[in-house]
Structure 1
Amino acid sequence: MLEASLALVIYPVLTLPTEITSRIFVHCLPKHRRVRPSPTTPPLTLAQICRHWREVALSTCQLW
């Protein structure tokens, strides 16, 4: 519990609503999409940042 509260203070981006984070992720996509995502480009890179971002990325249909 303390760790989660501390993370929100240190990383205020985690306090953004999921819908906003999801829209930001969609805007991070390259203009020309590959058939298969590369491990070094969004959405896979975004999903590796932290648990919260992975959950947001996996639940955002437009990324896949």
Structure 2
Amino acid sequence: MALYVVYLYGHVNLLKNREFANHINYENSQFHRDAVAGLRVGTLPVIAEERRLRDQLRG
């Protein structure tokens, strides 16, 4: 799944736009911002951190 998401962020122009975060769930917006900023979101340490952040935002 991570490979699919990384591919999409690399090839779908809509996802390269920072404003796309306004159209997704709040708890997923940090992942989007990190991906657009160039963070390697497909690596295991980053995936673990993104999950931890998302879980915190969900409360």
TM over 0.5: no
The structure where helix makes up a greater share of residues is 2
Scaled by the length of structure 1, what TM-score is found? 0.28
Q: Which has the larger radius of gyration?
A: 1
Scaled by the length of structure 2, what TM-score is found? 0.29
